Structure 1
Amino acid sequence: MKLIFFVLIISKLVFAVEHKEVNLQQSWFDQFQFAGYYMAKEKGFYEEEGLNVNIRPFNFGVDVSKEVSLGNADFGIGRETLILDYLNKYNNIVSLYALFQNAPLVLLSKQDLNINSIKDFENKKLMATIDDANQVSINAMLKSQHINLNNITYLKHTHNINDLIEDNTDIISAYLSKAPFILNNKNIPFHVYNPSDYGFDMYSDFLFTNNELENTSPEVVKSFRNASLRGWEYAFSNIEETVDFILKRYNSQKLSKDELIFEAQELKKLAYYQNNSLGNLDNAKLQRIVDLYAVMGYIKNSNTRDIKSFNYKTTRHGFTQDELSFLKNKNNFSMCIQTNQYPYQKLENNEFSGIISKYKLLFETLLEKRINIVPVENENIAQKYLQENKCDFATFLKKEDYNIIYSKNYLNLPLVLLTKDDNSFIYDFEQLINKKILILNSQVNVNFLKAQYPEVNFLSITDKDQVLNQIQNDKVYGLITDIPSAIHFLKEQTIGSIHIGGKFEENVTLSFGLNQDNTVLSRILNKLIISITKNQQDKIVSDYSSLNYKEVVNYDLIFKIVGISTLFIIFLIILIQREKTFKRKIIKLNESLKVTIKNEVDLNREKDEYIFKQAKLASMGEMIANIAHQWKQPLNRINVSNQVILTLVDDEKPTDISIVRKHINDIENNIFYMSDTINDFSGFFHPNKTMNLFNVNDAISKAHTLIKAKITDIDFNIDIENHINLKNYENELIQVVMVLLDNSIFKFKNANKQDKKIDVYTQELDSYIEINVVDNGGGISSEIIDRIFEPYFSTKFKDKGVGIGLYMAKMLIEESMSGKILVETQDEYTHFKITLPRLLENN
């Protein structure tokens, strides 16, 4: 059996992820200084990475560096002196990032003591802990001003700013994020002596771990670092919410809200000091700090430790010493590729393209080495080249050769079904029983699928050019392949009647093959694969997965609207010729109506490149159908008026002109109504995404207006206060509400029920509002409720939908509008709950 580069993984059940237990040791008592870690835990960022994090509180006497070095704590938060600990004591610690690009430690003095510069410090009392007095930035600042430190009286630190206020000390070391708040509140003027003003800016609040954890569990280290940075980004972007959470859960120091907000604002300045990126750790700056320690005499003479090994960013993704030596001795790498397997790999006119080419570029960046491509005709030659060391690693290989080892999977892709447009959407292989299904030999393990689903007639094929013709001519039901390959097929079709008509839980995965003796390179590739972020993976795949998706649109209805409008225009032209006095006005209205209808039809025929815009087209089709429902009555009234006018005109007897005018006015009013309907919602389809302050009741009323034509026997109730406003994306909220209402209406069609009800109501929270949509249409089965937000999952078939409405609603609410959408069901009731912030910042 051949198992090539794409290895099929059958996974029918969703297994619970076992979370890794890790510990984080704080360096001080609870305050905003650790808010990023609190929020990463509270918001589930750690949990998403498979981590269960225990945040250990600080106690006097805890040596954080020692705890992490010995492995008693997995991660720690270190002060400025962590660099000294690394150089002099604990050579196995490694810093994952530096949160503060400039240390918050400064010296303070009251203005009324006539201490106007550092030179006035002599013969004064300085309160500082031993650590503070020995921190290089403070001492370097003092020595740079030629201060004799022996002429300063050092006092043991009480960590109480009142000692400065009450003149128990002249100068005190303190943090910019805390002491100035107290002095300002007491209206006490003070001087700040900041080492950064004298050229001594230091890193502070390092997140660090030890080399053992980095080497044995690189995924844990990477995940903890990424989740922690996400936590800090959230904390700094949502300061008030974070402060409220600290007050509730982590306020052991009994700090006030104003005090915590002041601390947050000051720490945010230090974290983004000189516009550095969050967590930046630069080797050049580290070396300057080391040089300063050396000049100040803090480094032991025997220490020759390279500071680059202290920086996680330059430890080369957790490479061991033998892996680093391997890379040092390797000038470049070579990769065997097959030249015509697009969209994965293709070599044409010496230009390498495809998904694998993107990974090649990414690996070259991470390794800082060139990867040369070695073209081969097939996988057999690639295997031969690997065994002869003519290339270092390759793609599209047989798994039956035991001389080949394989890297970690670096990409998972779901299997999809290409089929004709008029076929029902498929989400399980059981739906394909007794159907002929094509499978390309180079992509999916045919024998494995045949064994799993013997009642499906799987047919292997090698000629890609015949695939679309066989589907189009009904020789087969469809083709099983992966998403990028499916998109490539659809781009090549000329008829346009084939689409993605199914998505399965089964996946294919991508990996590299290597010579079995090349274990060091295998470990290096695995660590590179681990280091690739989800955003990087998504970008690579999206470059080769863009398609103008097709959507089921009721074109018959559109043609009827266009046809009726055309007949109406002809009638208006005849009427204008007979009634010269109304010519200019009716022509203007006629042209306006013509342009409006043309714009709407053009919008419905546009094709987008992403699945999200496919959902937009679905909503547009629904909205046009609803508009058409609203147009029926005015069109009927126009037709009646037309008949009356024609009868009067054809009658040889004198005609009362007032009767003609009345019916013409009726026609005009109905035209205005139809035009207003279009204008009210034309902005809904506008491609520009504009945030605005809008009234929630008005937005939901607009959605109701467009969909109410379907609600003939349903008791629809809106209970929303008129004063509730949101600053967010109004059109997207309208679109989501329409999806939910349409979903409820569809359920009523299949329910034998008399008292049909849909309720929409709100609940106001502190900085959020809840929008609730409840129907009694029979509820949702417990077997499918967890899947209703998945793309392409639907209980509807053919022209009823393909399962992207609720998926689109979830993406709009959670990704675009920074909210949350949940669904609950009990007995006959279904309850959708939308939570949105009142004011969304426009980043």
Structure 2
Amino acid sequence: MLIKKLIILFLLIVINLSAQTNNKVTLYLDWVHQFQFAGYYVAKEKGYYNELALDVDIKEINDNSDNLKDIMTQDASYGVGKSSLIVDKFNGNDLVLLSSIYQSSPLVLISLKESNIKNPRDLKNKRVMITNDAVTSASINSMIISQGIKLDEIIIQNHSFNINDLINKKTDAMACFLSNEAYILDKKNIEYNILNPDDYSFDFYEGILYTSQKELLNNPSRVQNFNKASLKGWEYAFNNIEETAKLIHEKYNTQNKSLDSLIYEGNILKKLSKIEKGKLGEINPKTIDEIKRFYNFLGLNKQNTNFDTNSIILNKMNILLNENELKYLENNHFTLLVEDNNIPFVFKLTNKLSGIEIDFWNLISQKLSKPLNIEETMNDTMFSIFSDSIKTKFVYGFEKKNKPDYLLSEPIAQIPIVLVTKNDKNFIADLFALEKIKIGVVKNLEIISTLQKEYPNIDFVEIQNINDAILQLEQNKIFALIDNLYTVSHKIDKDNLNGIKINTLLNHKINIYLEVAQKNSPFLNILNSAINRFSQEEKNTILNNYQFIFYPKNIDFLFIGKILIPFILLLAIFIYFNFKLQKEITKRKEIELQLSELANKDSLTNIFNRRRIEELCETELIRNKRYKGNLSIIFFDINSFKIINDSLGHHLGDEVLLRISDIIGKNIRNTDSLGRWGGDEFLIVLPQTNLSQSKNIISHLEKQLSQIEFSKSITVTCSFGIATCEEDDTLDSLLKRADESMYLEKTKLKESRKN
């Protein structure tokens, strides 16, 4: 017997060592150790990688590093990179982006305040330290070019990476990280200006975690697990900046940074991660498309290639199985063993099995697109009539404890633990307030030893099941009982236990696992792949379906009911029909308003659309002919609008349309009407206005438009055309003259620019 146990122990050690070898992972950083990579250090030191069977080696960059080549050619290799990974993809590297830690790049241009460099236009003929790598400096270069400055109009210096060169005025501006060099200037009380590409809508991701498509294809679970553990590390790092900074200072400090500088760096980077907005790790396909367009515009896509954006972004909700796992899933049958009459976990409703376990098992089946069996069993073994099937069952525990021959899945969900008392007991906020009393703990919770350590002054007694515990509570043999929320609430409901109540929730929660025989460990990996793809909404939906909580009071509801129910019913009917009528009236008014808005307003600018402004112009034309007054219209468009859209993006084009519509609308009379004719063309209808007055209005509008500041500091002008109504004018003839007048002004503008 002893020899048999030793053999089993030896085999377990060998299997464990083999698993560790198979899951050794290398992470290549794109710079030396600093807070910029804090989440990966935390995931390693806190054991988040180890929990998912990952042994991670973190390597900082060195002179001989070729991270991209190593990641593309080696197994189990991951990297941290910049938005320039898009250029690497253009160049034929088959990579996949997992998560972007920083939603905006910390790379900016810094100048001394006394240099008076406040915007990119001030860089003309100035010395600027930017790296020679056009790809790395793409966001800064894009910002400069967008403001009408050519790169050859700047004196570009080799980057020394020494902030003292800026302080000693050996350069006028320097490309720096917000999280690093700014700290040094603050410490020296040196005032400075920042030119941030993000302020000019050049949003470049930074700190992108990536790997090869080969790694994703061959080891999808490892990729998902590495990404998941890394994000968990980042979440902890940003929520515990000082603790994380101390870890880096003591263990990952090859630059010998001070603790204060690391804390400063952490606070800046936390803002750039946008973790508080729930965007940690997010990669938006639209942003990737914008980055692709910027690189194309800068001529960095030398291969002139393209790719589907979604093909390089990891879909974190997809279940990805490798070829062996897919074959294993296809070639085997799988059975869940359940015990009936365990409300609300498993029970029969109209001869059909229902409950929390059934719903989670069906969700796994749905995620795997594989029909899965369910079988009732009368004992606590893995015996099944499905002899050729791989078996599993649900188990519950406070922590993951594998048995010698069985393994547990990742936690599926958590169940609250509650304290139950009679109705006459007051609310108990904290068990520490209780002393020398007896509390029953249902045996299958396996929590009694934990409670005894936490509350040594309470007499906890183990009770076989919930039925015995409630009986002892009713007979005052125990002061309270402890069990899981769902079992207790359903027991109260089923047996009409009006004399007891759920008094309070404890801080403890029990985990739901699936148990699989060790010999079926490949199935466990597949189960974990499905479980890790459960959304919180899916978990909540299942659990909330079975959560019935009652807080009964010692009140004679029957007596009260006989008096109040008829009155309440009548009142409820009246309120219901009145509410329904009011709701219908409100709904109709809202629909009418929405229809009116849709019919008359332009969806982008919220001014009149073409159909409505045309109607208004026709009405004023009829009115003018009847009363022999004055009527003028102004037709105008935005100069070089196509160039703005094509070179700087539709997001800026939309901004231009919105701002101009807003300024024009605020600077015309209440009796005037403004509408969008189409594209970048607009029409203003001016009742009781002659030619001279119309010209004054145009002068006023041009002055107001010249004062608009757009996000990329571009200058936007408009060309205006006027037409004053004549006796025989129709709408078409009036509009035609206004259009011709506008294009005459546009021609004059072009000729003046040539001269």
- TM-score norm. by structure 2 comes to 0.49
